[in-house]
Each structure stands twice: as C-alpha cells, then as structure tokens.
Amino acid sequence: MPLVRISIRGGKPPAYRAALREGIYRAMRETFNVPDEDNFMVLTQHDEDELIFSKTYFNIARSDDFVMIQLTVSNTRSLEQKKALFARIVQLLGEKPGVRKEDVFINLVEVGKENWSFGNGIAQYVSD
C-alpha cells in the first residue's frame, strides 16, 4: 500500500535510480510487512534550484546526492517499525547504489486503511 515519492538531483544513470527504488521497496517489505508486489512509486529528478536541502541541519553533512523519500502508508505501524524502516532504508541504499547515510531524508505520511483503492474502484483493505 505505500505510495512512495522519491526526489533526487538529475544526472544519475538508470541503474542508480533502479537501485534506489529496489532498496526502498525491500526495506518496506522487511520492516513494514508490505506484501509482495505492493510497489507504487514516483521518482522525480530535479535541477539544483528545485530540490532544496540543508547541508547542516542536525549536524548532518548532506551532499548533492541527497535523496528525499516521502512514503504515504497506512497508520498501522509501531514506533519500533518506523525506526527499523528508517535504518533499513539507509543500510540498503548504502550498499546499493551507495548513498551516504547522511544523504537519506525520510518522511512518513499516515492514512487510514480505507483510504486506498488499488484498481477497479474498490477500497480493497476494507472490502469483504
């Protein structure tokens, strides 16, 4: 059910962008119990003056490889699961495509389970 928006600077090759998507999806599978094949994402690339980030906030030294990730998810996860998701995304993106841990910004937007329709005009999570 997550709807994931990924925002990065332009100029990265397709394999880099694919690794971002795959790492985030795998982290959601492992920590948020996201079902197999539940993968819906928009990845956008931006010029320097369209993607803005602090290079120092929280004493974190961000670089131009900054990755902003906003995930809309159902409101069913615990604090421990959220912490696990954040850590796992950073670990996996660090392995591939090799994003520095300082460069990964994550935000969760939570909604009710009845707020999703995956096709056919049905609210699948609350149908019977």
Q: Is residue 12 a contact point for a second copy (CB under 8 A)?
A: no
Contacts of 92 (CB under 8 A, 6+ apart): 23, 24, 26, 27
Q: What are phi and psi of 92, to 5 degrees?
A: -70, -40
Q: Is residue 52 a contact point for a second copy (CB under 8 A)?
A: yes
Q: Is residue 65 a contact point for a second copy (CB under 8 A)?
A: no
Q: What are phi and psi of 127, to 5 degrees?
A: -95, 160
Q: Is the dihedral of CA 23, 26, 32, 34 positive or negative?
A: positive
**Is 2 an active-site residue?**
yes
Residue written as token pair 């906030």: 57
Q: Is residue 110 a contact point for a second copy (CB under 8 A)?
A: yes
Q: Is residue 16 a contact point for a second copy (CB under 8 A)?
A: no
Q: Is residue 26 a contact point for a second copy (CB under 8 A)?
A: no
Q: How far is the CB of 34 from a second copy (least distance, A)?
A: 10
Under a CB-based contact definition with an 8 Å cutoff, are residues 40 and 4 in contact?
A: yes
Binding site for a second copy (CB under 8 A): 3, 7, 14, 17-18, 21, 35, 37-46, 49-54, 56-58, 60, 62, 68, 70, 72, 79, 82-83, 86-91, 101-112, 114-124, 126
Catalytic residues: 2
